[in-house]
Structure 1
Amino acid sequence: MLSDSSRANRGWWDGNADDYQVEHGEFLRDTGFVWCPEGVDEAEARLLGEVRGRRVLEMGCGAAQCGRWLVGQGAEVAAFDLSHRQLRHSQRIDLDTGVHVPVVQADAEVLPFAGGSFDLACSAFGALPFVADPLAVFREVGRVLRPGGRFVFSVSHPIRWAFPDDPGPRGLTSDRSYFDRSPYVEMDEYGTPTYVEHHRTMGDWIGLIVASGLTVTGLLEPEWPAGHDRVWGGWSPLRGEHIPGTAIFSCARA
């Protein structure tokens, strides 16, 4: 059964997938692997290491742009997303590019894959910011990874929650406690949640990873690159000069 968070976010992404792909599709590229609004590209960063011949799971894949890049590198890929409409965009891009990624609609807290099915798992701002129980997700990742398998995922940098989600000067002044873990919730006129995003501190993320049995092997806080002038929601060159916008965690299963 879907949690309230998952139910709300499935509806939100189904309703907003078209606009999202129109606004961000060119930046993400149909067959590209972009980790974050700062533009960290897996083709250069190689956070996953060698992927040729590896079985890879893309979690919260959206239109599976990252998975399509992985296929192009010789990986065997499966992908899932909570949103049916996002997966329809994945099918559209499959037809446009001729690069096919098998996708399934699923909740990250209960993965529909057999244990030990994958060598690698990855998620670029998918699933983890939106789930009520991230420990369940990490445990599921550990279950579907083979021994020695690796998981790399990106999320909003936790420090951003202490600041307004504003790309301009207002977004440079903290207006709430970093330690306030209240989720961001949008509701309809009846008080039903329609969008939910959860805040975890850096310590929370590390603690959850460790509690799941995974090992943290790396943490990247991308700096805003020179000449990159794209604004994406609360991400901007102005804010990027002062505070990190993204955290990318690398983990391993024993």
Structure 2
Amino acid sequence: MTQRSPGGPGPDQTPAPTPSAAFAGFAEEGVDTRRAGRLWWDQNAADYVAEHGSFLGADDFCWCPEGLRESEARLLGDVAGRRVLEIGAGAAQCSRWLVAQGARSVATDVSGGMLAQSLVLDAHLGTTTPVVQADARALPFADDSFDVAFTAFGAIPFVADADQVHREAARVLRPGGRWVFSVTHPVRWAFPDDPTTRGLTAIRPYFDRRPYVETDDAGIVTYAEHHRTLGDHVGELVAAGFRLERLLEPTWPPGHDRVWGGWGPVRGAVLPGTAIFVCTL
């Protein structure tokens, strides 16, 4: 699961940006965010894994900050012997777990820094997890190559053209293949990214689709997240040829007190934090 702080530092008028950011806030549509994802994750990969590694696990499959694991949810179905593609894999924790379940899994990420962390984890565990550096919008695989594709908070929030991610997933999946992805629940963008009661008061229109960006002194976007409504997500899926089978909104589990950015038990008791889309081609 690769998300700096799921849901990002925004949407808030006073986010907690990267210390080196010259500007942090909401930009107009059309701002160039193409390079931001790779740059930020390359620079912060080791710190991210150090901060969140104990929760994610080195060889576990976590869908979201609520702690829903694939071992419980089984959203991918029976993966033994199946070709599985992870998009936006980060340090490939999910794929590492899938390999142990008998899947023929490949993990991709645009960030070489994050994939280097995967090699560190493999060396520590004595495992081998196939990884490929690739942009989710231009996957280096043939048509109909995989039975299942998924991303857990990867790729989709960080690009302006997520519709292309869905089209690429559709291209590399065989007919009848499964595409599952988790993202910040779109309703969260109307609220401050604050885990306290302050995060329960809406401050922005749900339909404001301006991306959250951070820029450096030269005005180059160094970090970005893009908001889509539920309708936007469904529309992009349908346009790519997918059928939505399930939409999950995981509840905050009792006794789970870990705070991650704006995620925590206070807001989790009232607002959905994650949306998981289970689709078939």
Structure 1, residues 149-177: CA drift from partner, whole Å, max 9, x if none? 00110000000000011111211111000
Deviation at 1:5, TM superposition (A): 2.2
How far the C-alpha of 1:106 sits from its partner, in A, is: 1.0
1:39 match: 67
Match of 2:108 in 1: 80
Q: Counterpart in 2 of 1:111?
A: 139
The one-letter code of the counterpart of 1:214 is F
TM-score (norm: length of structure 1):
0.97
Q: Distance in 2 between matches of 1:216 and 1:108?
A: 20
Q: Match of 1:250?
A: 278
1:159-198 matches, within 5 Å, as 159-198=187-226
Q: 219, 229, 233: which is aligned to 2:247?
A: 219
Choose between structure 1 and 2 for higher RCO, CA contacts under 8 A separated by at least 6 residues. 2
Residue pair 1:129, 1:198 contacting (<8 A) in 2 also = yes
Give SS of 2:85's match.
strand
Give, in whole Å, the separation in 1 of the partners of 2:127 and 2:272.
34
* Gapped regions of structure 1 (runs ≥ 5): none
- Structure 2's unaligned 5+ residue stretches are 1-30
AA in 1 matched with 2:103 = A
Partner amino acid, structure 1, of 2:170: G
Cα deviations by residue, 1:211-234 (Å, 9 ceiling, x for unpaired): 111111111000000000000111
Cα offset for 1:102? 1.1
Q: Determine helix, strand or coil for the equivalent of 2:141.
A: coil
Amino acid at match of 1:202: L
Partner of 1:251, secondary structure, is strand
Partner in structure 1 of residue 179 of structure 2:
151
After TM superposition, give the deviation of residue 184 of structure 1 in Å: 0.5
- Whole-Å Cα distance in 1 between the matches of residues 97 and 32 of structure 2? 33
Q: How many residues align?
A: 251
Secondary structure of 1:6's match?
A: coil
Normalising to structure 2: TM-score of the pair? 0.88
Q: Is the 8 A contact 1:71 1:99 kept in 2?
A: no
In the TM superposition, structure 1's runs of 4+ consecutive aligned residues that sit over 2 Å from their partners are 3-6
Instruction: Quote the Cα distance in structure 2 between the aligned partners of 1:98 and 1:121.
Output: 25
Contact 1:6 1:107 in 2 (8 A): no
CA deviation profile, 1:174-200 (whole Å, cap 9, x unmatched): 100000000001111121111010000
Q: Distance in 2 between matches of 1:151 and 1:98?
A: 29
Q: 2:43 aligns with which of 15, 22, 39?
A: 15
The alignment's C-alpha RMSD in Å is 1.0
Provide the identity percentage: 63
